[in-house]
Homo-oligomer: A and B are copies of this chain.
Amino acid sequence: MKTKSIDFLAELEKRERWIASYLKSKEFEEWFYPAHLKEAVYSYVNRSGKRLRPAVLLLSCGAVGGKEEEAVPAAAAVEMFHTWTLVHDDLIDNDERRRGGLTVHAQSSKLAQQQMNYPENQAKDYGRHIAILAGDVQQGWAVSLLCDCSLKGDLDPRVTLTLIRMLESYVLNTLVSGETLDIQFSKQAIESLEPERILDMLWRKTGALYEYAAKAGAMIGLNSTHADDRRIVALSNFTSRCGTAFQLQDDILGIIGDEKQLGKPVGSDIREGKRTTIIYYAFKNATLEQKARLKSVLGNSEATREQIDQIRQLLIELGGVSETKRLAEQIIQKARTELDVLEDSSYKQLLLAWADFMIARNF
């Protein structure tokens, strides 16, 4: 198991390099203008990330006998699609940091102050506007990358069109509905939370795009529009489940993670009042006094560092973190069995290691 996991990280990094170098190629550089917009568009691309979505797309392509290199534009597309959602979500959540640097809106606002002498409030608006436009442009970039599978590569144009339509209707609408529910839930009474509704929201926010990544990889590997092929179904069910578990782990790291390793602040979920399963389980086990303490800090944008730390401790003590951890593990176990229909191969082994990594990671 240990050697497998070391191999896995090397394999992951190899694919991360393919995607990063594809996205940074000269052709695209000329697309974005003026300078601040370009800087915003490339901001997260230029920082190291896990690139778990493109990785699983490539591995799924390989697992059905396809050539991974032919799926690189599609893998880059899925990464870029994920990136624009980060840019807009960071703006919506008013987060300051991502991948070890400033978020796009915070960075653009800083540029307006430093380079254009904007007063603070105007610089804030400017930063927000650039972040909206940068995300818009990145969505288009993602779609353009998919087009290239057929316009530059040999993929059947009908497969590419099917993939574009699936991404831009089913996946996009599912994902945005999840983000909207997340926003709405954060203002609803904690007592009204049900784990099923939280898991549905998490799946929408995260599972749907992971499901798509595997489906796209497998359809490209088979050069087929038959999404009901049993290997395609197995792979997309597998990543769909893993995606939800990934988000549970994200919520856990948002409470117990290390800020340096994560590259973003721990505790901001508490300040934003995110309704996670951690909150649900902790609240279930809490006394009246503890419930009152939780309520006074969750969603309180003015909460102090000390208050946040106390609530983090309380969420751990009340079993919110451990029960969420258990739930994530169960989901991954179930997901792994989906791959039984695949023949044994190094790709299958890498996919299983990928699944374990989704919840073992600490960044």
Contact = CB atoms under 8 A, between A and B. Distances in A.
Interface of A: 31-34, 36-37, 84, 88, 91-92, 116, 118, 122, 126, 129-130, 132-133, 135-137, 139-141, 143-144, 147-148, 150-151, 157-158, 160-162, 164-165, 167-169, 172-173, 176-177, 179-181, 183-184, 187
A32 B129 CA distance: 25
A132 B91 contact: yes
Contacts of A92: 129, 132-133
Number of chain copies forming the complex: 2
18 contacts: A32-B177, A33-B180, A34-B177, A36-B180, A92-B132, A116-B184, A116-B187, A132-B132, A135-B136, A136-B172, A143-B143, A144-B164, A144-B168, A150-B157, A150-B158, A157-B160, A160-B161, A164-B164
Contacts of A33: 173, 177, 180
Nearest to A134: B176
B180 A140 contact: no
- Specify which of A118, A133, A160, A162 lies most central, judged by the most chain B CB atoms within 10 Å of its CB: A133
A143 B168 contact: yes
B157 A161 contact: yes
